[in-house]
Amino acid sequence: MAAASCTAALSSSFAALQVRDARAASSCNGAAQPQMRSFEGLHRHTLLATRAAEKCFRAIIPATRNGRRGGALCTQAVALPATRGTEVQFDSKVFKKEKISLAGGDEYIVRGGRDLFPLLPKALQGIKKIGVIGWGSQGPAQAQNFRDSLAEANLDIVVKIGLRKGSKSCEDARAAGFTEENGTLGDVLETVSESDLVLLLISDAAQADNYKEIFAAMKDNAILGLSHGFLLGHLKSAGEEFPKNISVIAVCPKGMGPSVRRLYVQGKEVNGAGINASFAVHQDVDGRATDVALGWSIALGSPFTFVTTLEDEYKSDIFGERGILLGAVHGIVEALFRRYTSNGMQEDSAYKNTVESITGIISKTISSKGMLAVYKSLSDEGKKEFEAAYSASYLPAMDILYECYEDVASGNEIRSVVLAGRRFYAKEGLPAFPMGIIDNTHMWQVGKKVRESRGENDLGPLHPFTAGVFVATMMAQIEVLRQKGHSYSEIINESVIEAVDSLNPFMYARGVSFMVDNCSTTARLGARKWAPRFDYILTQQAFVAVDQGAAINQDLINSFVSDPVHKSIEICAQLRPTVDIAVTADAAFVRPELRQ
């Protein structure tokens, strides 16, 4: 088959997802619309094109993508956008960078560890005061980790918390040792104006509403530190930029704040344990930015730090938390719980075979051995059930994930978060609409009873169908990020490690609803918006296909088994924390509002 034909065949496979609704809507034939809207119609149309495309590419050249092999929907003969993270070149005068090979491509990381704390004075040269603005998810963890690491390094750098006057969080900051009396707690703008490094850790919506005042208060040549690229996305949508007289860096832990603090505390006895982080240097006015960013990451306890760009970070992060990290897993378990109970399973068993299965044994297995180990651990009958669920769920999940990524990349999702944040307060004659909670609905009350009677070290049953749906969604998210040009370090951390090593242990201890109700504002908003989409498409398309006896698509299963991401996950797993995070329902490191 000619190269042009191959390209056309592959383009058709992607086009199937993009034009499905448009073709259905424009059809004058009443029977055509339901056919295109059904999973079976989309499944057959897309996979015929995909199979043809994959076969012709494999016939022409080995499957490579910047030296890497692709996944189930690969585009090896088509010019692709550069993988921005892997193209960033960085050098450090302080820390040693290390080359790792992921899926045939070389990437560079910096290993962490408490043995590197003596290097912090050189990395943080010129920094006398670090202002941590905000006391939400990341603020408490990063402020305490930074303070403790600086003390261990015998560095006389002040870590000061900046909060609004009258903030309810002041009491919590004082309880953690940050007080007005010792000069480590003050007003937001006062703290910003005094600091050489400003860690802006307030909510994304608050950043969007207050960045002008914060920029104006910063000193010349100060460094703005972000743990999320959201503000860049907002500035881009507003046609604005960061001030040119400051450096802008990011260190983005791949887990929520309580995980960052918990693993840091656990790691005190083992030369460090924590949450992996990405770092980015968006703007460097005096040549210090890279070493300051790496010093910050090591002080937080990151086992390894990989490079990205601020734009890649916010796209993958906002997308990921709407996907497998929170929104998708919420939609998956609610859809499966209804399915199992409607098929006659007792409610407590249905909860165990959905939430407990995913956040317990499945996550534990993926964390230590990878996704393939979940599949290989099943009996022959279990493998068939997994394959049926995987085959039916992969494309419907990708349909929603594809749309979600493009909503994030276009700025739509960022604008949605900003507007939602403004609706939390009464305005324009309308009442305030803060987010409600989901924890009181029936399924989550069942979960509470299950957890109360759960035995120690009970990780729940490994249900093959549940595993197939979850792993299919995880793989679909990996593929979207891969086709959108993200580095493997970023893909694995945003789609796998953050899920199984940070968020899911909290969900296992407290339930998925706990995270949906208590994670960052941006993540909570995203979960509420996108979880129903995953729920509906799985219920209406994937499960219907299984119940109607749709044939298992062996090409998808073969692509899953042979995907190069598995080897890359193994390599990254070798760099994971040396201890597993320990989470209990009443753990003191969970901030008070998360315990309520």
Sign of CA dihedral 583, 588, 594, 596: positive
Rounded CA gap, 282 and 437, in Å?
Answer: 37
**Is residue 193 marked as binding?**
no
**Is residue 38 marked as binding?**
no
In sequence order, the 6+-apart residues with CB closer than 8 A to the CB of 30 are none
CB 242 within 8 A of CB 248: yes
**Is residue 40 marked as binding?**
no
CB 333 within 8 A of CB 354: yes
Tokens of 579: 């201890």
Rounded CA gap, 352 and 281, in Å?
Answer: 44
Q: What angle do CA 553, 570, 250 make, to 5 degrees?
A: 105
Within a 10 A sphere around the Cβ of 526, how many other Cβ atoms? Answer: 29
What are the DSSP calls for 291-312, one per residue? HHHHHHHHHHT-SEEEE--HHH
**Is residue 593 marked as binding?**
no
In sequence order, the 6+-apart residues with CB closer than 8 A to the CB of 339 are 539, 543
**Is residue 87 marked as binding?**
no
CB 221 within 8 A of CB 285: yes
Residue that the structure tokens 């919420």 belong to: 330
Rounded CA gap, 230 and 525, in Å?
Answer: 14
Task: Provide the β-strand partners of residue 225.
Answer: 199, 249
Task: Provide the β-strand partners of residue 130.
Answer: 159, 197
Residue that the structure tokens 């899926």 belong to: 103
Q: Which amino acid is at 438?
A: I
Tokens of 224: 């703005």
Could you confirm whether 228 is annotated as catalytic?
A: yes
Residue that the structure tokens 């165990």 belong to: 352
Rounded CA gap, 173 and 161, in Å?
Answer: 8
Tokens of 170: 């002041």
**Is residue 494 marked as binding?**
yes
Give 427's DSSP letter: B
Q: Which amino acid is at 588?
A: A
Tokens of 102: 């992921």
Which of these, 465, 499, 516, 507, lies nearest to 353 by C-alpha position?
465
Q: Which of 228, 234, 330, 486 is catalytic?
A: 228
Q: Which residues are catalytic?
A: 228
Q: Which positions make up the binding site for Mg(2+)? A: 317, 321, 494, 498
Q: Which positions make up the binding site for substrate? A: 379, 520
Q: Which positions make up the binding site? A: 317, 321, 379, 494, 498, 520
